[in-house]
Structure 1
Amino acid sequence: MNLFAEAFAWLFSPERLEGQYALPILLGQHLYYTVISVLIAAVIAVPSGWLIGHSGRGREVAVAISGAARAVPSFGLMVLLVLLLGVLRVPEAATITFVLLAIPSLLAGAYTGLEAIDRRVIDAARATGMTEWQIFWKVEVPLGLPLLVGGLRAATLQVIATVTIAAYVNLGGLGWPIIQGIPLRRFDQVLGGAILVAVLALIADLLLALAQRAAVPAGIRAATPRSQTPRSVRRAASAGTSTTTSATASTT
């Protein structure tokens, strides 16, 4: 308990608001790399996932790519990219690492969201004379949005947890107190930094969980009791919750 008290004392010390490594500056750096990486990953993964889910082609390739990307160690990849790109392109190397980490969850959320739609709904839309483009935008995208937001939720939490390693290459972020405190044996500082990352992950998870719930079309939300929520949506929500736990554990 003394260590927790010391960690909170470190967090709320006036010194944490001063200097180059003030906590607001580190928080801004952490959010910057998280948002930029997730946005770039979404631009790459979401259209690809929608194409796979709509056409039904390339799913095996997407699964293989996602599995391979998940197996790559983030820290090792970042160090390798720094060596390949040079020390002058450290931000680019770190961003590429975080983008590759976010792509699998976004890709899976995009194509599984479309695959989970009952084919009878698509056939009914096609029977009314809707074009393939209209079916995609007016039927598939709205119905697949909850799982896509679930993928965004998982990707964001994974990136938030992993951006802590950016401090190893002097890019700041909330990992800086952890990286700096370990060799100095400042365990109050290490725990304080871990608490900050965990709190940020929990806040992001809460906001994206609300967004995922709001993404369910109003008609489906009104017609489906809470206890009978579609299995695909429940599965996405549970995936986001488990990611929060792993993100907190990896940060600590």
Structure 2
Amino acid sequence: MDLSLPYMAQLTFQHLYLSFLGTLAGGLVGFLLATWVRRRPRCASVFIGLAEVIQTIPGIALLAFLLLAFGLGDTTLIVGLALYSILPVLQNTYEGLVGVDPVYLDIGKGMGMTPGEIFRQIELPLAFPVILAGLRVALVTAIGIATIGVFIGSGGLGVVIYRGLQTIDMPAIVTGAIPAALLAVLLEVGLSLVERRLSKTTSQR
């Protein structure tokens, strides 16, 4: 089995690319839904409830179901990761937006700002640290789930792990598992630091 540095670097990049793409797609859906339901609590409960139901489906079962619609390959994995990314982004964005102090909104209205300007210049900046926390959870989760993409013909570090399991090759399993774990840890730490800095900046305004 090829465990050379160039090959592992290629798989790591592919793993990260697929995870980012899935998280971006699901995060965009979650963000747009949250901005639409932020003034509609009943709709928010329905959409968050549906996203929670998706979150309870085991990864391999969800990918198997999507396989029927999208076939083998990266597309199925990306759609699966996107579905898993909706809940944390939707929930955090909604909570962040509805948690903005109404005083700031009244100040914006008093200054003659339009609803769009209030959203872009007041609500979104104040809620951004909470939104980023949702993205962080979604991305770290995607990194882990992407390893099972090999079962539906996708790439990434799961390829090495799966081949190692087939041949009971522990060095191969470890070589595939360590980069995946490091990606998750580094992204978790890095985004957490950014989140804390943004929260501190926001609280000082």
Q: Same fold (TM over 0.5)?
A: yes
Cα distance in 2, alignment partners of residues 190 and 48 from structure 1: 39
Cα distance in 2, alignment partners of residues 219 and 69 from structure 1: 33
> Could you tell me which residue of structure 2 aligns to residue 48 of structure 1?
33
> Could you tell me which residue of structure 1 aligns to residue 4 of structure 2?
16
- Give the drift of 1:137: 1.1
Q: Tell me if structure 1 keeps the 8 A contact 2:74–2:153.
A: no
1:169 aligns with 2:137: no
> Could you tell me which residue of structure 2 aligns to residue 135 of structure 1?
118
Residue correspondence of structure 1 range 54-203 to structure 2 within 5 A: 54=39, 56=41, 58-87=43-72, 90-203=73-186
Cα distance in 2, alignment partners of residues 25 and 214 from structure 1: 32
Unaligned runs of 5+ in 1: 1-9, 224-252
> Could you tell me which residue of structure 2 aligns to residue 248 of structure 1?
none
Change (3 A) 1:132 1:70: same
Tell me: higher relative CO, structure 1 or 2? Use CA pairs within 8 A at least 6 residues apart: 2
Question: Secondary structure at 1:58's aligned position in 2?
Answer: helix
Greater CA deviation, 100-109 or 126-135? Answer: 126-135
Question: Secondary structure at 2:199's aligned position in 1?
Answer: coil
Cα distance in 2, alignment partners of residues 140 and 217 from structure 1: 16
Give the partner amino acid of 1:29. Answer: Q
TM-score (ref. length: structure 2): 0.89
The structure with more radius of gyration:
1
Change (3 A) 1:86 1:202: closer
- Give the drift of 1:51: 2.1
Give the partner amino acid of 2:191. Answer: L
Q: Tell me if structure 2 keeps the 8 A contact 1:143–1:217.
A: no
Q: How high is the sequence identity, in percent, across the aligned residues?
A: 26
- Give the drift of 1:15: 4.5
Q: Tell me if structure 1 keeps the 8 A contact 2:76–2:152.
A: no
Give the length in aligned residue pairs.
Answer: 205
Aligned CA RMSD, in angstroms, stands at: 2.2
Cα distance in 2, alignment partners of residues 86 and 156 from structure 1: 24
TM-score (ref. length: structure 1): 0.74
